[in-house]
Structure 1
């Protein structure tokens, strides 16, 4: 499914998911920092495999479903409560809550809209609905930005060269589109997460001795 987007809508999405938008995404590794420290992720191929699992079977898929539900809801309070309950660890809850609060604050201040604090995917879904942004492309750009942020973390942690990092982002782009399409056909009844190693990594990161990322 593809929806024609006006230039102003496209540029709104570009602004929201730009590294300059003050949500602090650069500070979170989603457990990847522990995975690198534990030698679970060591190069381009293992980073790609790790992130593909997160996208297809972990937060990529579940956040897409939460975003869809928020986009279609008049009242997002129940969707937001479920998103908080679904977080598999304290740090992952903090990640989605703090990024969501920052996104709501920036969007409220810049666009002058009513945006109470919500978890990140719920906040994006709500804002996209308020701005009449196409759901399919909002999902695609949201997932692409999530992927790009984790690749950037991997580039710093492994370390990985910029070209290799860009190859991973390119290779995962089609998966972002596929997940977005699947999420639009689903509902919160389809919620599940089987990216167990990623969840464990986020728990292990809470007590990691030396770290540079918040999650």
Structure 2
């Protein structure tokens, strides 16, 4: 019975965080589009380094902490306010709010849960709590989905072959696990953001002349 429950939880997470889940993640590059145009990210190694920094020191670790806090909170709205305030730019705020609202709408309809419109990591954390999903696995898969989506954006922008892009995703798996473990054991007192070039890229993207991504 326990193995069956674990398998069901795993499949639920796979569905909720898959590229096919209707949150529109494919439309966002998290500032990567500007970084590629600027020449800061021009090949496979640069993409891997950029995404590793975002995961460890930027939105990856911050969103993981917000997800964990929402998972534990009786009132996720309080965490949502902090997560929105922590967004470093207008595009970052739009990215997390619009994806979160889409996630909440889809999850409420699919899983029959009462999920208010929350920013993305808070919505995922609250949904995981409502469905009794394990926190550490939710964190790891959330971060992996985030990294994979940006790696896919990099494949389109650099451009990079699919095999090279998958190598980047594989290389980031240990980073996702590392950040997930830290977030599971952490609190919002551990919040920081020192991926400054990533934040600047997101700000620069707001006025980028030619672009295919929303952020």
For normalisation by structure 1, the TM-score amounts to 0.97
Q: Return 27-36 or 6-15, whichever deviates more.
A: 6-15
SS in 2 for 1:6: helix
Give me the whole-angstrom Cα distance separating, in 2, the residues matched to 1:19 and 1:150: 11
| Aligned mates of 1:66, 1:18 — CA distance in 2 | 20
Distance in 1 between the 2:17 and 2:76 partners? Answer: 21
Looking at structure 2, the residues matched to 110 and 48 of structure 1 have their Cα atoms a distance apart, in angstroms, of 34
**In 1, Cα distance between the equivalents of 2:19 and 2:53?**
24
Which whole-Å deviations, capped at 9, do the CAs of 1:39-91 have from their partners, x for residues lacking one?
00000000000000000000000000000000001101110000000000000
Of 182-191 and 90-99, more deviation after overlay is shown by 182-191
1:185 deviation in Å?
A: 1.2
Matched residues in 2 for 1:155 and 1:93: separation? 24
**Residue matched to 2:70:** 70
Deviation at 1:209, TM superposition (A): 0.1
Per the alignment, in what secondary structure is the counterpart of residue 18 of structure 1?
A: coil
Q: How does 1:29-40 map to 2 (within 5 A)?
A: 29-40=29-40
1:126 is displaced (CA, Å) by 0.0
Residue equivalent to 1:25: 25
Misfit runs of 4+, over 3 Å: none
Structure 2 residue aligned with 1:111: 111
RMSD: 0.8
Is 1:167 matched up with 2:167? yes
Deviation of 1:191 after TM superposition, in Å, equals 0.6
Separation (CA, whole Å) in 1 of partners of 2:191 and 2:42? 30
Aligned positions of 1:101-140 closer than 5 A: 101-140=101-140
Gaps in structure 1 of 5+ consecutive residues: none
Which secondary structure does the structure 2 equivalent of 1:116 belong to? Answer: coil
Structure 2: how far apart are the matches of 1:200 and 1:183?
24
* 1:122 Cα deviation from its structure 2 partner: 0.2
Residue segments in structure 2 that go unaligned for 5+ positions in a row: none
Whole-Å separation in 1 of the counterparts to 2:143 and 2:111: 23
Report deviation, 1:113: 1.1
CA distance in 1, matches of 2:19, 2:179: 22
Aligned pair count reads 212
Using the size of structure 2 for normalisation, the TM-score is 0.97
Q: 2:64 aligned with 1:79, yes or no?
A: no
2:211 counterpart of 1:189? no
Write the deviation string for residues 116-175 of structure 1: whole angstroms up to 9, x where unpaired. 100000000000000000000000000000000000000000000001000000001000
